[in-house]
Homo-oligomer: A and B are copies of this chain.
Amino acid sequence: MAKTNIKEILIGKPFPTSMDVHERLDKVRALAVFASDPISSNAYATEAIMSVLILLGSQALSITMPVGLAVAGLVLLVVFSYIQTILHYPGGGGAYIVAKDNLGRFPSLVAGAALMTDYILTVSVSVSAGVRAITSAFPELFEFRVMIALGAIAVLTWINLRGVRESGTIFAVPTYAFVSGVWLVIAIGLVRYGGWFGAPPIPVVEEIIPATVSVTGFAYAWLILRAFAGGCTALTGIEAISDGVQAFKPPESKNAALTMVAMGLMAMSLFLGITFLSTHIGLVPTETDSILSQMTRRVAGSGPLYYWVQFFTAMILILAANTAYQDFPRISYFLARDNFLPRWMQNRGDRLVFSSGILVLALIASLLIIFFQANEIAMLPLYALGVMLSFSISQSGMFRLMGRIAHLKPGETLQTEVTEIHYERNAKWKRVLNALGATVTFSVFIVLASTKFLDGAWIVLLIIPLLIFMFYSIHAHYERVSRALSTRNLTAEQLSEVADVVIVPIADVHRGTLRALTYARRLSNDVRALCVVTSQEMKERLLRRWARFPSITEGIQLVTIDYDYRDVLPPIVEYIERVNNIEFPEKLTTVVVPEFVPTYAIGGFLHNQTANRLRRELRKYKDIVVIDIPIHIDSKI
């Protein structure tokens, strides 16, 4: 009771399963929950392009806008592709389900492993980045950074365990505050840049920074490609909604698709707005001041708006982790449902969220933070790789699906393994877009993997295959279990018969053992009390006490084994084994073990563990049934 109450105080009253739909997210909350990851990337995506281009000198920064437009084009492609995914797979599951339905088991597991890795890293990286923002402001907290990061994870975990609707409400504020703040900055910036409404123009600074590398031809193209790949961090999190379609209020896929459109527009406007303004007012990336911070100060001064944007930038960086809290448990659910992860990962907790997935995510992310000492710079090379891999797999899957749709005639439908597809007019064109998207995202994956391989990307490229191996092993285990439990062609005769014998190991004759013997007599006419005697005094005492209760012990065979060692377990097991194998082969032998139950756990510490050891030992035999007769002691220890 007390235990339940603590749990209830922490995460709230359990919800009945039928309340599921009421616990779903409306579009406003859903946008906040799923968009915090993709939107937070706008805080650094433009800068990621510029910090590569600056190697070619400050005049090369003028290429930022074209590169940014290419990235935006890719964002459009991917958003478009995922809208298709949402509409065709209303059950959710994103890359994993698409790959499973169209490409087969192995690609789907690659996508699953890549996404799981990425979501874990999202939590570790964004929480660490948020904590860095805090410790930059208060350097005396630096030595506690790991503790603060773990505390932040604990809070995120706690709020997410309370249910998706509640966490959606709590986390909506910072997301919308960030977006509206940056929009306002962009709007003021554009007005001033255009000189509209008589606004004062923004002073454009022309700072000349010489190139640090001098490259031509292929190397130049490679650098531009790297700048493009850097800008692709703007894509992280776009897949989030597709994994979580089932978190939406019905009609799920329509609501999800509309939210996806809103998110795409929002992210696109932020990214293009920031990129346009920052390049046209001559900003240059520096170590100490972010592009977004420079832009805000130049456009709107160091007033309240500046602090607003800075504060909510830090907040949304932490909140990007919250998107992972939505999607990691869902991708685990899909994998667990298909027997590639422990089955309990598909169970929903008291508040209808996938509690075990949330806890597993929190645990692994915390371990990463401890291991990397909350240093997100060290973890960054590991990041975004998984997402790019899953994008290319997902788009390849959609490419395949569109191919199947293209073969349908008007009015025709086809049932795939997980969904139903209908004739569509523009399937061929969509297919081309998917092919393009898959190619570009796979190229970005290759660029990221090769440029950051030695910095730590190799860890991800090692972990993904290990995860896949784990998926296969778990699947094989469940296959064996299912074969063993299968009732196909099972007849009653095939189930083991029960031997007409009950063995009751005893150490002494007391109320507990007499109770066990009484119970055993009900089960069989062949009850054997088994006592290993280690000294003559013990034997005499046993026989004396045995004789005192003829009404109970009558008809029970007392088997004593003289034994010259102190550990009585081996002769007991040996006797039971002999009865089971020789006297009653292929039958179920019953053993009654009186079990001492102290009121408080520490009391168990005061008793010999022989009964527990015996029980553990007997579990190994498939034809031995153990009966626990509890003996309760009203005890304070």
**A-to-B contact residues, CB < 8 Å:** 14-18, 342-344, 347-350, 473-474, 476-478, 480-481, 484-487, 490-492, 495-496, 498, 509-512, 514-515, 518-519, 522-523, 534-535, 545, 548-549, 551-552, 564-567, 588, 595, 597, 603, 605-609, 615, 619-622, 624-637
Nearest-neighbour CB distance to chain B for A240, whole angstroms, equals 25
Please state if A17 and B597 are interface contacts (CB–CB under 8 Å).
Answer: no
Query: Which chain B residue shows the least CB distance to A17?
Result: B564
Q: Which residue of B347, B484, B634, B637 contacts A608 across the interface (Cβ within 8 Å)?
A: B347
Query: Are B476 and A636 within 8 A (Cβ)?
Result: yes
A349 to B: closest C-beta gap in Å: 7
Which residues does chain B contribute within 8 Å of A347, judged by CB atoms? 566, 608
B-chain residues with CB within 8 Å of residue A615 when the two chains form the complex: 628
The one of B474, B492, B548, B631 in contact with A485, judged by C-beta atoms closer than 8 angstroms, is B631
Residues of B with C-beta under 8 A to A609? 344
Given contact pairs A487-B509, A597-B622, A627-B627, a sample of 19 additional A-B residue pairs in the complex whose CB atoms are under 8 Å apart = A16-B564, A18-B564, A342-B606, A473-B636, A474-B606, A476-B636, A477-B603, A480-B636, A486-B510, A487-B548, A492-B551, A492-B552, A495-B514, A498-B518, A523-B523, A619-B628, A622-B631, A624-B630, A628-B628
B495 near A552: Cβ-Cβ < 8 Å: yes
Which 5 A/B pairs are nearest by Cβ-Cβ distance? A16-B564, A485-B510, A477-B637, A622-B632, A492-B551
Out of B484, B597, B605, name the residue touching A619 (CB < 8 Å): B597
Given A347-B608, A474-B637, A487-B509: A17 touches B515 (CB 8 Å cut-off): no
Q: Are A545 and B487 in contact (CB under 8 A)?
A: yes
B511 touches A484 (CB 8 A): yes
Chain B residues within an 8 Å CB radius of A626: 627-628, 630
Pairwise interchain contact A511-B490, C-beta atoms closer than 8 A: yes
Q: How many angstroms from the CA of A630 to the CA of B618 in the assembled complex?
A: 9
A480-B606 Cα distance, complex, nearest whole Å? 13
Q: What's the nearest-Cβ distance from chain B to residue A351, in Å?
A: 10
Q: Is B350 a contact partner of A567 (Cβ separation < 8 A)? A: yes
Question: Would you call A477 and B519 a contact (CB within 8 A)?
Answer: no
In the assembled complex, how far is the CB of residue A11 from the closest CB belonging to chain B, in whole angstroms? 13
For A486, the chain B residues whose CB sits under 8 A away are 510-511
Q: Do B477 and A496 touch across chains, with their CB atoms under 8 A apart?
A: no
Would you list 30 pairs from A and B whose C-beta atoms are within 8 A, ordered by A residue? A14-B565, A14-B567, A15-B565, A17-B534, A17-B535, A343-B606, A344-B607, A348-B566, A350-B565, A473-B637, A477-B603, A478-B606, A480-B634, A480-B636, A487-B514, A487-B545, A487-B549, A492-B552, A519-B588, A522-B523, A523-B523, A595-B619, A619-B628, A619-B630, A621-B630, A622-B630, A624-B630, A625-B627, A625-B629, A625-B630
The residues of B that contact A476 with a CB separation of less than 8 Å are 636-637
Tell me which of A474, A567, A633 has the highest count of chain B C-beta atoms within 10 A of its own C-beta.
A633
Please give me the residue from chain B that is nearest to A344 by CB atom.
B608
Residues of B within 8 Å of A608, CB to CB, are 343-344, 347
> B565 to A17, Cβ gap below 8 A?
yes
Q: Once the chains are docked, how many angstroms separate the CA of A518 from the CA of B497? A: 8
Q: How far, in angstroms, from A281 to B14 measured CA to CA in the complex?
A: 86
Residues of B within 8 A of A566 (CB): 17, 347-350
The CA-CA distance from A621 to B515 in the complex, in Å, is 15
A548 and B488 CA atoms in complex are apart in Å by 10
Q: How far is the CA of A15 from the CA of B487 in the complex (A)?
A: 50
A628 touching B630 in the complex, CB below 8 Å, given contacts A474-B606, A515-B496: no
Residues of B within 8 A of A492 (CB): 518, 549, 551-552
A621 — which chain B residues lie within 8 A by C-beta? 630
Q: How far is the CA of A356 from the CA of B620 in the complex (A)?
A: 27
With both beta carbons as reference points, the residue of chain B lying nearest to A484 in the complex is identified as B633
- Residues of chain B contacted by A344 (CB below 8 angstroms): 607-609
Residue of B nearest to A16 (CB): B564
CB distance from A609 to the nearest CB of B (A): 8
Residues of chain B contacted by A625 (CB below 8 angstroms): 519, 627-630
Distance of A605 from chain B, by nearest CB (Å): 6
Q: Is A635 in contact with B512, judged by CB distance below 8 angstroms?
A: no
B523 touches A490 (CB 8 A): no
Given A624-B630, A630-B619, CB of A477 within 8 Å of CB of B535: no
**A554 nearest CB neighbor, chain B only:** B492
Q: In the complex, A548→B486 CA distance in Å? A: 13
A116 shortest CB reach to chain B, Å: 17
